[in-house]
C-alpha cells in the first residue's frame, strides 16, 4: 500500500448554516422539535427563514465541519459534496477552500439551490436544526475521485447524507474504493432519525466489517442496537467495529478499540453558548489523534477539547487556535 497523501477525505452535505437566537416560546410557536434535526422542503425553509431574527450565515454541513477542525489542527483534508451554481454555493466553496481543504466537486447547474440549515439557538445553547438538503442530495457517484479516496488514510462519511438515494450510491462506491485501497472507513451515525430510516443498512455495513471507526452519541447507539444498557450496547457494537467512539454530552466520551476501553470526562466550559457542531468537532479531534497513532485516551481528549471550543461560541466551526489548545496532548 502506497503512503497516504491525505489524512482524511470526507463525503457529506454541502450546506450553508443560517443561525439565529430564539426563545423557547418561538420554538413552540413554529412547531419545531427542540434540539433535533428535521428535514424540510423549500417552502418550509422559506417560512422558517422569514420567521428568524437577525441571523449569521456560516458554511456548514457535518462532515465539512469536521474537516474544518481537522485542517485547523494541521491535517491534510479533502471534501466531496454537491453545491449549486448560486451565491450560497460560491460562499460554501470559498469558505472550505480558505480553510485549506481541497474541494473540486463541480457545481450543479440545475435546480434546486445549494442546501441550507436553518438553526434556532435557545438560551440554554440547544440548537434546533431545520435542513433543506437542496443540491446536496444530488451528489452523483460520477463526481467521486477514486484516486483521491485511495490516497487518504481515512474516508469519513456523514450519516445525514445516507438519506437521499443518489449520494447513498456515491458513498457505497466510495467505501468500495477505500477498502480496495486498504484504507480505513469512518462513519458517523449523525442522528437517531437517520437510524430509524436506514438502521438496517448501517447494521449490515457493520456486520460485514465495512466500518473501521464508528461515531455515535449515546442516543444514537441505543437506536442502532435497541439495547437500553449503555455498556451492553457498546459491547454489542464493538464486536464488529474495530474502533467505536460514543459521546455522552456532559458525561464525557467512551471508546473501545482492539479490546481497550477508554473514557474521558467532558472539558469544562464556563458558558455553553451553542451546541451546534459539538459532535463534528469531537470527531475532528479524535480522527486527528487516530491518524497520528496516539493512544486511545489521547484521541478522546483531543475530541473533548475541540468539542468544548466549539460550544463556547455560535457556529459549528472552530474560532480559537485548536493547535494551541491541544498542544499539551500532542506533545
Q: Return the pLDDT at 303.
A: 98
Percent of the chain clearing pLDDT 70 (strictly above)? 100
Q: Return the pLDDT at 164.
A: 87
Residue 32 inside a domain? The answer is no
- The total domain count for the chain is 1
- pLDDT of residue 1 exceeding 80, the answer is no
List the domain range (segments joined by +) for residue 187. Answer: 6-13+61-112+137-329
Which pLDDT tens digit goes with each residue over 165-206? Answer: 999 999 999 999 999 999 999 999 999 989 999 999 999 999
Residue 210 inside a domain? The answer is yes
Q: Which of 94, 196, 211 is nearest to 156 (CA)?
A: 211
d(CA 43, CA 53): 18
For cell 424540510, the residue is 40
- pLDDT of residue 2 exceeding 90, the answer is no
Residue 127 inside a domain? The answer is no
* pLDDT average, residue stretch 81-95: 94
pLDDT-based confidence at 56, cuts 50/70/90?
Answer: confident
Contacts of 269 (CB under 8 A, 6+ apart): 308, 311, 312
Q: Which of 143, 206, 197, 204 is nearest to 9 (CA)?
A: 143
Which grid coordinates belong to 168? 447513498
d(CA 5, CA 315): 30
DSSP string, 232-272: HHHHHHHTT-SEEEEE-GGG-EEEEETTEEEEEPPPP-S--
Residue 78 inside a domain? The answer is yes
Average pLDDT, the chain: 94
Residue 129 inside a domain? The answer is no
The pTM of this model reads 0.91
Q: Return the pLDDT at 24.
A: 96
pLDDT-based confidence at 75, cuts 50/70/90?
Answer: very high
Residue 39 inside a domain? The answer is no
Higher pLDDT, 35 or 138: 138
Residue 175 inside a domain? The answer is yes
* pLDDT average, residue stretch 208-217: 98
CATH (domain of 322): 3.40.1190.20
Of 79-83, 120-124, 228-232, minimum mean pLDDT range: 120-124
Residues 192, 160 contacting (CB under 8 angstroms): no
Residue 121 inside a domain? The answer is no
Amino acid at each position: 500500500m502506497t503512503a497516504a497523501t491525505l489524512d482524511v477525505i470526507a463525503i457529506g452535505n454541502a450546506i450553508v448554516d443560517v443561525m439565529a437566537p430564539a426563545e423557547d416560546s418561538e420554538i413552540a410557536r413554529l412547531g419545531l422539535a427542540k434540539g433535533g434535526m428535521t428535514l424540510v422542503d423549500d417552502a418550509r425553509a422559506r417560512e422558517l427563514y422569514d420567521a428568524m431574527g437577525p441571523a449569521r450565515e456560516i458554511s456548514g454541513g457535518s462532515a465539512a465541519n469536521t474537516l474544518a477542525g481537522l485542517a485547523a489542527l494541521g491535517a491534510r483534508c479533502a471534501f466531496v459534496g454537491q453545491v449549486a451554481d448560486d451565491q450560497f454555493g460560491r460562499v460554501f466553496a470559498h469558505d472550505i477552500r480558505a480553510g485549506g481543504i481541497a474541494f473540486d466537486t463541480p457545481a450543479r447547474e440545475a435546480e434546486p439551490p445549494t442546501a441550507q440549515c436553518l438553526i434556532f439557538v435557545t438560551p440554554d445553547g440547544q440548537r434546533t436544526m431545520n435542513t433543506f438538503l437542496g443540491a446536496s442530495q444530488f451528489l452523483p457517484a460520477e463526481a467521486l475521485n477514486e484516486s483521491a479516496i485511495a490516497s487518504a488514510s481515512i474516508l469519513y462519511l456523514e450519516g445525514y447524507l445516507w438519506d437521499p438515494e443518489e449520494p447513498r450510491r456515491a458513498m457505497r462506491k466510495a467505501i468500495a474504493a477505500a477498502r480496495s485501497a486498504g484504507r480505513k472507513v469512518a462513519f458517523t451515525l449523525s442522528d437517531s432519525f437517520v437510524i430509524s430510516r436506514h438502521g438496517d443498512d448501517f447494521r449490515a455495513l457493520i456486520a460485514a466489517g465495512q466500518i473501521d471507526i464508528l461515531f455515535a452519541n449515546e442516543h444514537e447507539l441505543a437506536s442502532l442496537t435497541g439495547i437500553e444498557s449503555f455498556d451492553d450496547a457498546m459491547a454489542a457494537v464493538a464486536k464488529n467495529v474495530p474502533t467505536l467512539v460514543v459521546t455522552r454530552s456532559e458525561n464525557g466520551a467512551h471508546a473501545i478499540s482492539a479490546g481497550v476501553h477508554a473514557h474521558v470526562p467532558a472539558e469544562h466550559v464556563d458558558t455553553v453558548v451553542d451546541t451546534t457542531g459539538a459532535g463534528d468537532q469531537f470527531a475532528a479531534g479524535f480522527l486527528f489523534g487516530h491518524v497520528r497513532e496516539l493512544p486511545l485516551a489521547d484521541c478522546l481528549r483531543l475530541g473533548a477539547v475541540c468539542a468544548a471550543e466549539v460550544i463556547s461560541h455560535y457556529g459549528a466551526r472552530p474560532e480559537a487556535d485548536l493547535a494551541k489548545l491541544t498542544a499539551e496532548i500532542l506533545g
